[in-house]
Chains A and B, each alone.
Chain A
Amino acid sequence: MRADYLARRFAVFVLIVWLAATLNFFLPRLSGQDPVRATLLQQAQLGGYVQSGLEAMVKEYEHRFGLDKPLWVQYVTYLGDVSRFNFNYSISNYPRTVNEIIAEAIPWTVGLLGTTTLLSFAIGTLLGALLAWPGAPRWMRLLMPPLWALHAIPFFLLGLILMYVFAFRVQLLPMFGGYSAGAFPALTLAFAGDVLAHAILPALSIVLVATGGWALGMRGMMVTTMGEDYVTFAEAKGLMRLTIFLRYCVRNAILPQTTALALALGNILSGAVLVEVIFGFPGVGTILFHAIRENDHFLIQGIVFTVIVALGVATLILDVLYPLLDPRISYRGA
């Protein structure tokens, strides 16, 4: 039974990856634009090249990039490339490859996104559970309205506000980038501190907003769970309040909460991308932004594909872990 569930989840993962690759391939070609030609023309115009030599150059590039072959051949080559994570060169940052650029940016994004998501999920879930529990301290109720209001706004909006207050007005924290200009990345404490200082505002914009959402969600799940028969029976058994809270309520409410996490990953990522752009944080978001500006199709495609795959992997991991939480799942077919 277990193997069946796993196999299906993995199949879905492969499907997602394939879909992402295909979309990536066909959508840009929908508009009939040829990415290479368009970019070259653009660059040429900027540089003031003469038109006649341009055509020859474009033809040569098209041949190099395989764009003069029939569509289905291109598609197959593309799929082959993609499965080997060969995304070609970056048009705007030639001669660097797309892989290089993405590889540099990923640690930053994973670091920021990973920590903030885990933090906000943990704090939010705990807070939400306590908020629903009648025995929790009264002052916690006061946390509700601000968290509530905050979670309705997009990450990057809070980012802008925080940036203004703390980086501009009060000058407490740096405004831009991942580390100070001129600092060399090294494994020193000083550099780590620098990175941390730069990461605080982006991280805060995500955590302050996301926590509220998780708290609200968990509170809702808890309210539903607390109304269940087994909680009533637990109380009739004369169990201690802590036992009922943790092992009967939280333990059950956390199941839909985890499902919500798996579903929300996409949205959190989208929000984080915008936060990175605002703060110039050197993660995937910022390089995507620059790629869009420069019309660097290969880079854009590479980033989007990598992100979708990464997200697919994360979702797959969560899906695989879920039966460990809920014993009912591994036995059900659907």
Chain B
Amino acid sequence: MRYLRRNPSLVVGIVLLSALALFVIVGHFTVDTSKSRPLSAPAVRAPSAEHPFGTDRQGRDLFATMVAGTPLTLRIGFIAGFLGVGIGAILGFVSAYYRGTVDAIIRGIVDIGLTVPGLLVLIIIAVSLRRGLTVDQMAIIVASLAWLNPARTIRAQVLSLRERGYVEVARLSGMSGPEIIFKELMPNVLPYLAATLVNSVSSAILASVGLEVLGLGPIDSPTLGMTLYWVNFNAALINGWWWWWAAPIVIILVVFLGLFFLTVGLDEIANPRLRRAI
């Protein structure tokens, strides 16, 4: 408990994300999520007792939309984030441990991949696969690039660990490559891995929201990004329908801030030098 006081970021992050989770869970019990489909409610109503978040132009109850959409957006983020870190971690470990040509190839691909602006490649992919994207397909698309950054960071981390004595000792005592990776290197990279994971999820959500705002997302789903797309499409800002864009913006803010504080908090655990450096 005392540690939590020294690491306020972690606390803030957990609080924010828990609040979001609570919102979604409670929301699921209080409202009928089918109301997130168009034509379930009178159009363009300001918030009232009946529709706490108001309704949009296509007749969606926005409260239901947020409750249904938030987990969808988060799901894309989690799937893509986990896949990204999973693949990235394996490649990072292999690359850093075995060095040589394997390292050169993987590193080359990662370096080039990271130079290219991810969103644009995702746009090309999404545009090509136009036919009715589902939420899970979005996740896969985002994941296709999400592994690059984790691969790089984990490779760097493992490289620095690899030089430490205990790896040499393990090798001399006859442990095989994969054994060393799992038993010696992995536990030391774990806190770092957690921070990378949260980072990856955050980037994935950003990428998916970006694609959706451009209109390239799953067009029937009430995800947060798609809601913003409709906001833009219907010029809700100019028309003064503030409730329509306020809700998704606030939720997205909470998501990103929550993940950010969580990352900072995890970073502090992984890297003690950053503790209260001020």
Contacts and interface: CB of A to CB of B under 8 A. Distances in A.
Q: Do A and B bind each other?
A: yes
A274 B111 contact: no
B173 interface: no
Interface stretch (A82-90, A94-102, A301-309, A323-331): A301-309
Interface residues of B, number: 45
A289 B214 contact: yes
A24 B130 contact: no
Interface of B: 108, 111-112, 114-121, 123-125, 127-131, 206, 209-210, 213-216, 228, 232, 237-238, 240, 242, 245, 249, 252-253, 256-257, 259-261, 273-274, 277-278
Given A157-B252, A220-B274, A315-B115, A168 B238 contact: yes
Contact of B116 (A153, A154, A266): A266
A181 to B, nearest CB: 14
B123 A308 contact: no
Contact of A154 (B108, B117, B123, B209): B209
Nearest to B253: A153
Given A27-B128, A152-B260, A157-B253, A164 B215 contact: no
A141 to B, nearest CB: 7
Given A149-B257, A160-B249, A311-B116, A224 B273 contact: yes
B118 A267 contact: yes
Chain B, interface SS category: helix
Chain A, interface SS category: helix
Contacts of B131: 31
Contacts of A297: 127
A23 B128 contact: no
Contacts of A223: 273-274, 277
Contacts of A157: 249, 252-253, 256
Interface residues of A, number: 56
Interface string A125-141: 00000011000000001
Interface stretch (A11-19, A230-238, A247-255): A11-19
Interface string A157-175: 1001101100010000001
